[in-house]
Amino acid sequence: MIIIDGPAELSGELTVQGAKNSTLPLLAAALLCKGQTVLHNCPDLSDVDTALRILEHAGCRCKREGHDLIVDSAVTQCEIPEELMRSMRSSIVFLGAMISRCGSARLCAPGGCELGPRPIDLHLSSLRRLGVDIEETGGWLNCSAPHGVEGAYVSLAFPSVGATENLILAAVCGKGTTIIANAAREPEISDLCEYLNRCGARVYGAGESCVIIDGVKELFGCEHRVMPDRIAAVTYMAAAAVTGGNVTLRDVDNTHILPMLGPFEESGCEVRQLGGCLNIMAPRRLNPVRHIRTMPYPGFPTDAQPAIMSMAAVGRGTSMFVENIFENRYRHAEGLGRMGAKIKVEGKVAVVEGVERLTGAAVESADLRGGAALVVAGLSAQGRTQVSGTQFIRRGYEDLAKHLADLGARVREEEA
Ligand code: EPZ
């Protein structure tokens, strides 16, 4: 568990970790590319360890040297064992890469955070459009592309990040051209395609709603630096915001942060961005964040909603949240409520009436971003907050407690 003695006032500098949600699809892509791939700036996270175990199970040799990952993709089989599939939702993104590399794949329906049913219907229907046979029996997916992947026109009913990544990974070595309409535009997609194109792929329009992929025969691994983690960055910004702090973040891609700046400015924080750095200065007491509506990129990202709710919880007024992406992404409201926050959740809508000061309490993480939001709230609360379930937090944040302590918080991690 993570133990925080609040209130704190954060100040100082911090280098933001590499993006978890870019590292994971990049590791899937490394399986598809022959030879060696070197990924720089990879965060040390349990989800990344799970992805490395999936690669090793497929026959790849993986080595971590600090924040560098070296993958020799000598793939011998394309199956993912159940325990690895269940421990991480994004393991589904290996499906497209395995089909490209082996012409087949066998895996079970993914697990991951309980943010809602987390269906994979868009992944499967899209891959079937590319000529992949997918048999779903007893929770297992037996996939094969006996005649190879055939380029096709695919229109996504929803701009799913994972389905877009799977489609691209399946189509890069397919026969002919694939056109994806209503593709997800998240920066992690652009990061993935930058790597793939450097490996010899022909992907055009990544980051836009229409992505065109001209299949090539094979791809060879290369070096790539993972983009900075925009959600980790916003989490630290929220920590500075709720503590009246003054924090500078290094290695921030300012374009990626733009869709999330609104609530910080609304609540009275001063944010200055220069080159790859960002400085945030917070007022003693925050104004409310007013209205947050989560949308696919370039809208406000659902992953930032929990941390911003911790800001709204201590704002001078009422804020309203509409969570349009996941059905069950307000689980942190329960923990915030135990700390004295006044939050009413009705389906997609949450109304938060800011209070003067939260009170430390024992609270439980239910998912990755919700757990981090409870830690953020603990920084501003009066007294001791114990956040348990930190195995969720370790999935996405490298050394969260240590980084916050380096910024002046009284926080430590203990075995529960
Ligand atoms: C990715 O998940 C991220 N994970 C999530 O971050 C992020 O919240 C999400 O994109 C949205 O930005 C990784 O990149 C590893 P989706 P993904 O497919 O791909 C529905 C975190 O905390 N849907 O865009 O699973 C789905 O149920 C994680 O780092 C279908 O209905 O997200 C959800 O309501 C959490 N059918 C919505 O689309 C499908 O086949 C968005 O899902 C696929 C998705």
Tens digit of each residue's pLDDT (9 = 90 or more) over 348-376: 999 999 999 999 999 999 999 999 999 99
Ligand 1, closest atom to CA 367? 22
* Over residues 187-214, mean pLDDT: 98
Q: Are 336 and 309 within 8 A, CB to CB? A: yes
Pairing status of strand 291-293 against strand 318-322: parallel
Ligand 1 pocket, mutate which of 121, 127, 325 (most atoms under 8 A from CB)? 325
> Is 118 close to ligand 1, i.e. is its CB under 6 Å away?
yes
- Encode pLDDT of 221-232 as tens digits: 999 999 999 999
- Encode pLDDT of 208-220 as tens digits: 999 999 999 999 9
| Whole-number pLDDT of residue 114 | 61
Q: How far apart are CA 364 and CA 336, in angstroms?
A: 10
Atom 25, ligand 1: residue with shortest CA distance: 162
- Encode pLDDT of 163-172 as tens digits: 999 999 999 9
> Is 95 close to ligand 1, i.e. is its CB under 6 Å away?
no
Residue 213's φ and ψ, nearest 5 degrees, are: -125, 120
What order do you get walking across the sheet with 2-6 strand by strand? 362-364, 383-388, 2-6, 410-413
| Whole-number pLDDT of residue 319 | 98
User: Is the per-residue pLDDT at 342 higher than 80?
Assistant: yes
| Whole-number pLDDT of residue 118 | 66
| Whole-number pLDDT of residue 239 | 98
Which helix (H) or strand (E) segment holds residue 225: the answer is: strand 223-225
| Whole-number pLDDT of residue 138 | 82
- Encode pLDDT of 381-406 as tens digits: 999 999 999 999 999 999 999 999 99
Q: How far apart are CA 172 and CA 201, in angstroms?
A: 6
| Whole-number pLDDT of residue 111 | 58
| Whole-number pLDDT of residue 139 | 81
Q: For residue 354, give the DSSP letter.
A: -
Contacts of 259 (CB under 8 A, 6+ apart): 297, 298, 299, 300, 301
Atom 35, ligand 1: residue with shortest CA distance: 303
- Does the active-site annotation cover 113? yes
Question: 3-state DSSP call for residue 259?
Answer: helix
Residue 305 CA to ligand 1 centre (angstroms): 14
Q: What percent of the chain has pLDDT over 90?
A: 91
Residue 144 CA to ligand 1 centre (angstroms): 24
| Whole-number pLDDT of residue 116 | 67
* Over residues 292-306, mean pLDDT: 98
Q: Are 130 and 174 within 8 A, CB to CB? A: yes
Kindly name the residue from 113, 143, 199, 269 that is annotated as catalytic.
113
Per-residue b or e along 135-164, where b marks 16 or more CB atoms closer than 10 Å to that residue's CB: eeeeeebebbbeebbbbbebebeebbbbbb
* Over residues 233-260, mean pLDDT: 97
In 3D, which of 380, 289, 387 has the Cα closest to residue 334? 387
Helices (H) and strands (E) in the chain, counts: 15, 23
| Whole-number pLDDT of residue 313 | 98
* Over residues 91-107, mean pLDDT: 94
Atom 34, ligand 1: residue with shortest CA distance: 326
Contacts of 351 (CB under 8 A, 6+ apart): 318, 319, 320, 321, 343, 344
> Is 326 close to ligand 1, i.e. is its CB under 6 Å away?
yes
Q: Compute the residue count for the chain.
A: 416
User: Is the per-residue pLDDT at 314 higher than 90?
Assistant: yes
Alpha carbon distances (Å) from 262 to 240, 267, 289, 299:
16, 9, 8, 11
> Is 286 close to ligand 1, i.e. is its CB under 6 Å away?
no
For 87, the token pair is 């421990």
Q: How far apart are CA 218 and CA 270, in angstroms?
A: 48
| Whole-number pLDDT of residue 48 | 97
Q: Are 93 and 165 within 8 A, CB to CB? A: yes
- Encode pLDDT of 131-180 as tens digits: 999 998 888 899 999 889 999 999 999 999 999 999 999 999 999 999 99
* Over residues 238-267, mean pLDDT: 97
Q: How far apart are CA 346 and CA 311, in angstroms?
A: 20
Average pLDDT, the chain: 96
Question: 3-state DSSP call for residue 92?
Answer: helix
Ligand 1, closest atom to CA 188? 14
> Is 248 close to ligand 1, i.e. is its CB under 6 Å away?
no
| Whole-number pLDDT of residue 181 | 98
For 207, the token pair is 């980051």
Ligand 1 pocket, mutate which of 45, 141, 161, 330 (most atoms under 8 A from CB)? 161
In 3D, which of 398, 281, 367 has the Cα closest to residue 16? 398
Contacts of 49 (CB under 8 A, 6+ apart): none
Q: How far apart are CA 398 and CA 413, in angstroms?
A: 12
Ligand 1 pocket, mutate which of 95, 122, 160, 332 (most atoms under 8 A from CB)? 160
